[in-house]
Amino acid sequence: MKHKGAPEAPSPLSERIGEQAGLRRRLEATLRIRRAHHERDHVTAWKSFQMLVLGAGLRCTGLHARGVRNAQDLRLREEELPISGLPPGLDGLRLLHLSDLHFGRTMPEHEDRVCRLLEGVSAGLCLITGDLRFGHFGPADHVAPAVRRMLAGLRLQYGAYAVLGNHDTLAIAESVEAAGLPVLFNEGVAVGVNGAVLWLAGVDDPHLHRLDDMDAALRGAPPDAFRILLAHTPECAVEAAKKGIGLYLCGHTHGGQVRLPGLGALMINARCPRHRALGHWRLGTMLGFTSPGLGTTDAPVRFGCPPEAVLFTLRAE
């Protein structure tokens, strides 16, 4: 896909990705082996037990209500991001990075909070790194209307793009594309900005489905383009650094969702070093950022990692 100015409407996702569409759907069916029907059902019995123990512990210590308030305290943070070798035309470009929105059918108040937070935000691009829906099970037809409502409140010069997370299905991707949000499924798009070219590469979920194909996402990238990779998790960072990615944006970990003083995250749920599970990191010349995300899963609490969206302003270093 080529893009300058407003995003062009892509052809349907299943047509673009061909045989991968069938493979993705088969994986979705086999990886969700429980016959659950409700979005609040946990993906395994072990996860249900873990969340039962965590919830009981928090209630016994009187911390559960505070954790819920923390999870509802959505924040928008702005920062400048110095990048060595950034093309001059990209200096000052504002990127709104969102991740792990986790819109739920049974929690419309979360959608309201997200939309209020982002209402009127102005940026060049909005980049969304997966997990648009809350649970793993049940109908997901609420996701596209929530995405459409959220995007309607933004002021974007070059549009918005997303990749899929481990909670997302191909059906969700097709519905949000119909709602105006292009999904990069092992694809890239060129965005012209002030005479410079920005190549947005997006890969499928590297964590659960593992259909990520970075070579395909970089195919056709101009040699002089600054490359940004959108991936749901930090788990393909080593490959990205070897292939000339300048900025790697991801999420998935929620920063651990529960972080203890001196110990950090209780779990990061990703095959990566712990320092890549939250915030800024670097691998060679590649900059990386792992968002704590705006939503929660499993337990509706946060400690030590507030939910946030980040508005980056790129600066030539």
pLDDT exceeds 60 at position 9: no
**CA-CA distance, 82 to 175, in Å (whole number)?**
36
pLDDT at 7: 45
Number of compact structural domains in the chain:
1
The answer to whether residue 257 sits within a structural domain is: yes
CA–CA separation, 254 and 166 (whole Å): 13
Examine residue 23 and state whether it is found in any structural domain, yes or no. yes
Does residue 272 register a pLDDT over 80? yes
User: In this structure, what is the dihedral angle of CA atoms 112, 114, 117, 120, given to the nearest 10 degrees?
Assistant: -90
> What is d(CA 80, CA 299) in angstroms, rounded to the nearest whole number?
32
Asked if residue 203 has pLDDT above 50, the reply is yes
Residue 61 lies in a domain: yes
Structure tokens at 49: 């037990």
Tens of pLDDT, residue by residue over 219-256, are: 999 999 999 999 999 999 999 999 999 999 999 999 99
- Can you give the residue range of the structural domain that contains 64? 18-33+41-316
The letter for the amino acid at 260 is L
Q: What is the CATH number of the domain that holds 196?
A: 3.60.21.10
For residue 188, being part of any structural domain is answered with yes
Tell me the per-residue pLDDT of 11-20, one tens digit each, with 9 for 90 and over.
Answer: 789 999 999 9
In a domain, 97, yes or no: yes
Q: Say if 76 falls within a structural domain.
A: yes
Q: What pLDDT does residue 31 have? A: 83
In a domain, 106, yes or no: yes
Provide mean pLDDT across the span 53-76.
95
In a domain, 5, yes or no: no
Q: What percent of the chain has pLDDT over 70?
A: 97
pLDDT tens for 81-106 read 999 999 999 999 999 999 999 999 99
In the predicted model, what is the mean pLDDT of the chain?
94
Nearest CA to 189 among 202, 178, 179?
202
Tens digits of residue pLDDT in 39-50:
999 988 888 898
